[in-house]
Amino acid sequence: MTASVRRAQRLEHRLTQPNASLADLNDAMALATEHEVAALTVNPWLVKAAKRELGRAPLTLGTVVGFPQGSAVLAVKAFEASKALEQGATQIDFVVNGGALVSGDDEAVFNDMLAVVDMAHSALASAGVIVEPAPMADDLVRRACRLAERAGADYVVTSPGSVTARASVERTRMLRDSVGPRIGVKASGRFRTLDQLQAAIAAGATRVSTLFTPSLARAAVESSAPRATRR
């Protein structure tokens, strides 16, 4: 692993807006590879094209399942995950069934998570749970985190990505306090400045996921570069 890859290992370029196009994908891949960010997460329909273009590049290719509401039935989420993995995804972010969670049906929530997590792990891919598809009471978010940990998820995610940086940082703190050290926390939101990225990392994020601009990605990588030792 090169030094630049190590510096960028917390960064994930996210291309999951509804109208993301092939032209947007080309721009996203150029940014991700130039700055050697850890991961590129795209809409499901873009996975196959992204995998073809990336080839053997050392970049995690992620996608989203049950996005953005999480209300699809278990079989549909499992099928979505299987197709994404078949087409080359190595990371799956899937949305918790918020309705079942609010209803107190923990068994349905857990089985929903387990189906996707097991599917991903069987393909040697990672899986994370987006634990808050919409604003939700703190106790429900914590319960979703506990269920995600029990289901074997690799990480939990603050939101589908549409929230402000401030809201994502606040949720990052809660998620970090709600899961054990084995599980990562992905801060997903509208990050616009280096200070916001650094705040998310300080709050406990192991990955920060946003639609990066070239200047923000460059600043993030440069800010974490080791400084020369003075003699």
pTM of the entire predicted model: 0.92
Q: Which domains does the chain have, with CATH numbers?
A: 3-223 (3.20.20.70)
Rounded Cα distance, 160 and 138, in Å: 17
pLDDT confidence of residue 14: 97
Q: Which segments in the chain show pLDDT lower than 70?
A: 1-8, 225-231
Say if CB 59 and CB 32 are below 8 A apart: yes
pLDDT confidence of residue 56: 77
Helices (H) and strands (E) in the chain, counts: 10, 8
pLDDT confidence of residue 221: 85
Rounded Cα distance, 181 and 226, in Å: 26
Rounded Cα distance, 89 and 190, in Å: 23
